[in-house]
Amino acid sequence: MLGNGSKVLIPDRGFDGVVIYTGRLKGSFLEGNILIAESGSPIGELISISIKHNLSGLESLVGIPGSIGGAVIMNAGTRYGSIGDIVETVEFINSEGTYIVKSSPYFEYRGSEFRGERVVLTRVTLRLKGASSDEIREKLSLAVLLRKNQPKYPRQFGSTFKNPPSMSAGRLIEEAGLKGFTYRNVQVSPVHANFILNFGNSADDIYYVINTIQDRVYRLFDIKLEPEVNLIGF
Ligand SMILES: Cc1cc2nc3c(=O)[nH]c(=O)nc-3n(C[C@H](O)[C@H](O)[C@H](O)COP(=O)(O)OP(=O)(O)OC[C@H]3O[C@@H](n4cnc5c(N)ncnc54)[C@H](O)[C@@H]3O)c2cc1C
């Protein structure tokens, strides 16, 4: 399954299988405070719709690239809130081909009950809240501020690793001496060590850097960093 592809890494040799891309499964509508969106709908478009109708709930996701389906799989968000906080129902097809409407699905830090499962998310229902435009604007500016210290160029996938409980993955990578580490055209960001910058065109090189980080952090601190990025087919 591929949404916007913002959080996947696929080997240079390619992927031996069928890829379902949800880019054309777009569209959304409002029923009062409830926003119903097809799974390929871009997060940014849904945020714009909610702002236009003075509805609050999605502001913390501003600047996160991707589709709403990918966001639900990953429980995308920031310290101000994650998509799981406002999901009412998720509609999906399971591996037996059964269409299921699931109310109040389970979410955890950068994950959901759907992550790693063989499912096709088709539609998501979000419960938003009426709010004044000032309130919404304030929440948006806080969320935008968070992005100030994050590298924007070149291509990357946001945070590479999940933060271990009450620790910062970026700090551990930095303490392991890997901030700025460069392998071929791939660099651990000198600004924020949990970001990997791709100046080239090789997923295998990025994978090498991911492994190097995991090995070094494990050797030094006995901590296994878990990738936040979805490594498909490695
Ligand atoms: C610059 C940048 C900044 C980012 N900042 C943040 C951030 O602040 N917070 C955060 O949480 N994330 C962040 N991300 C990561 C990413 O944007 C989110 O994880 C986003 O939700 C991924 O959506 P996507 O559509 O691109 O999913 P994809 O990358 O396409 O897919 C992600 C996973 O979901 C699965 N999937 C996608 N759609 C479906 C579907 N319809 N049915 C079943 N499975 C599906 C895929 O198989 C894959 O396993 C950032 C990424 C970038 C590049």
Q: What pLDDT sits at residue 148? A: 83
8-state DSSP, 133? H
Average pLDDT of the chain, as a whole number: 96
Whether residue 164 lies inside any domain: the answer is no
Q: Coil, helix or strand for 205? A: helix
Within this chain, do residues 209 and 95 fall inside the same structural domain, yes or no? no
Within this chain, do residues 125 and 180 fall inside the same structural domain, yes or no? no
**Count of C-beta atoms within a 10 Å radius of residue 23:** 12
| Segments of 104-225 assigned E as strands | 107-108, 111-112, 120-127, 129-130, 182-183, 186-188, 196-198
Within this chain, do residues 113 and 37 fall inside the same structural domain, yes or no? yes
Confidence (pTM) = 0.96
Number of domains in the chain: 2
Q: What pLDDT sits at residue 144? A: 94
Which residue range is the domain that position 192 belongs to? Answer: 169-231
**Rounded average pLDDT over 8-36:** 96
Whether residue 163 lies inside any domain: the answer is no
Give 211's Cβ-side CA count (13 Å radius): 9
Q: What does DSSP say about strands 81-82 and 87-93: parallel, antiparallel, or unpaired?
A: unpaired
User: Which has the closest alpha carbon to 58: 90, 28, 82, 34?
Assistant: 82
Q: How far apart are CA 113 and CA 107, in angstroms?
A: 6
Whether residue 216 lies inside any domain: the answer is yes
- pLDDT tens column, 68-85: 999 999 999 999 999 999
Structure tokens at 143: 């969320």
| Contacts of the segment 183-190: beta carbons below 8 A, 24+ positions apart | 183/208, 183/209, 183/212, 188/213, 189/151, 189/156
Confidence of residue 28 (pLDDT cuts 50, 70, 90): very high
Q: How far apart are CA 78 and CA 61, in angstroms?
A: 7
The domain spanning residue 18 has which CATH number?
Answer: 3.30.465.10
**Rounded average pLDDT over 180-206:** 96
Whether residue 160 lies inside any domain: the answer is no
Within this chain, do residues 144 and 178 fall inside the same structural domain, yes or no? no
Within this chain, do residues 116 and 210 fall inside the same structural domain, yes or no? no
Mutational pocket test of ligand 1: of 1, 60, 115, the residue with most ligand atoms within 8 Å of the beta carbon: 1
Q: How far apart are CA 203 and CA 229, in angstroms?
A: 12
| From 41, 59, 82, 110, active-site residue | 110
Q: What pLDDT sits at residue 1? A: 96
Active-site residue 95, yes or no?
A: no
Residue 110 has pLDDT above 80, yes or no: yes
| Index of the ligand 1 atom closest to the CA of residue 122 | 41
Active-site residue 110, yes or no?
A: yes
Within this chain, do residues 144 and 174 fall inside the same structural domain, yes or no? no
- pLDDT tens column, 138-163: 999 999 998 887 777 788 899 999 99
Within this chain, do residues 33 and 101 fall inside the same structural domain, yes or no? yes
Whether residue 38 lies inside any domain: the answer is yes
Whether residue 161 lies inside any domain: the answer is no
User: Which has the closest alpha carbon to 192: 166, 219, 163?
Assistant: 163
Q: What pLDDT sits at residue 202? A: 96
Does residue 200 have its Cβ closer than 6 Å to ligand 1?
no
Q: H-helix or E-strand containing 71?
A: helix 68-74
Query: CA gyration radius for the chain?
Result: 18
Within this chain, do residues 180 and 125 fall inside the same structural domain, yes or no? no
Does residue 230 have its Cβ closer than 6 Å to ligand 1?
yes
Give 58's Cβ-side CA count (13 Å radius): 29
Active-site residue 159, yes or no?
A: yes
Within this chain, do residues 133 and 210 fall inside the same structural domain, yes or no? no
| Index of the ligand 1 atom closest to the CA of residue 65 | 17
Q: What pLDDT sits at residue 5? A: 96
Q: What does each C-alpha distance from 83 to 7, 76, 145, 221 come to in angstroms?
A: 16, 6, 19, 32
Within this chain, do residues 85 and 190 fall inside the same structural domain, yes or no? no
Q: What pLDDT sits at residue 50? A: 97
**Rounded average pLDDT over 160-176:** 97
Does residue 198 have its Cβ closer than 6 Å to ligand 1?
no
Q: What pLDDT sits at residue 105? A: 98
| From 39, 56, 59, 228, active-site residue | 228
The domain spanning residue 197 has which CATH number?
Answer: 3.90.78.10
Whether residue 98 lies inside any domain: the answer is yes
Whether residue 158 lies inside any domain: the answer is no
